[in-house]
Amino acid sequence: MKLLVGLGNPGEKYEHTRHNAGVIALEHIMAAWKNDSRFEDMGREKNRAYTMREFRFSFDGVSTEKLVVLFPQTFMNVSGLALKKYLDRVRDDFLPSNDLWVFHDDMDILFGLLKIDRNASSAGHNGVQNIIDQIGTKDFVRFRIGIRPRFPTKKPTDQFVLQKFSKKESTELGIICENVLNACEIGLISSIAKAQSVCNKKNCS
């Protein structure tokens, strides 16, 4: 089983904000899977802590793998609380280092670029740090989606990340989400190491 987690803030107020890049990318991935015969939609679950949708992935026509897409309904800085609630249900059959993939925005990476990490520090990302604190390990996979502006901004970081993507950024966002989708599928079909070699900080289409 793979557990894919999209980090962001819940609610209409935060839709399409830079801090929700992980949610936006994972929603794009999920929409693509619904139109891909390799992926069977197995239904959804919603509660106060998270929304979840389950897929069955057949990558060679014979073998299948369960994929769970999870969106915490807590705010970003306490994302780990929602994740831990789900993990407590499946802990006996789940190894975060192999199977937990977290998708999130990253101010350390230029907008338009992607970096895939495993077993790395939070680098100051509060949502990721809360996950580390709650599950007791940093040994999981992270899809770090760059949101750093290409030109200097006078906006404090905490304000910048809560702004909606600009019109120019929005026109590029579809391409970025496609690159994240391609990286994710390379990881599923081959390995995270292969996804890293193909996709890290460059176009991976």
pLDDT digits (tens, 9 = 90+) for 6-51: 999 999 999 999 999 999 999 999 999 999 999 999 999 999 999 9
In order of 31, 32, 95, 100, the CA distances from 36 in angstroms are 9, 6, 27, 22
Fold designation for 2-199? Rossmann fold (3.40.50)
Give yes or no: 19 in active site.
yes
Instruction: Write down the pLDDT at residue 62.
Output: 73
Domain boundaries, the chain: 2-199
* Annotated active-site residue in 19, 28, 104, 125: 19
Residues 181, 170: Cα–Cα separation, whole Å: 17
CB of 59 closer than 8 Å to CB of 188: yes
Which tokens belong to 152?
A: 């200097």
Non-local CB neighbours of 70 within 8 Å, separated by 6+ positions: 3, 4, 5, 6, 50, 51, 52, 82, 83, 86
Instruction: Write down the pLDDT at residue 61.
Output: 72
Q: How many CB atoms lie within 10 A of CB 137?
A: 12
In order of 74, 82, 127, 141, the CA distances from 130 in angstroms are 12, 10, 5, 15
What are phi and psi for residue 106, nearest 5 degrees? Answer: -150, 115
Q: pTM for the complete prediction?
A: 0.95
For residue 66, list its beta bridge partners. 56
Instruction: Write down the pLDDT at residue 179.
Output: 94
Instruction: Write down the pLDDT at residue 92.
Output: 66
Instruction: Write down the pLDDT at residue 93.
Output: 64
pLDDT digits (tens, 9 = 90+) for 89-148: 887 666 667 799 999 999 999 999 999 999 999 999 999 999 999 999 999 999 999 999
Residues 9, 77: Cα–Cα separation, whole Å: 9
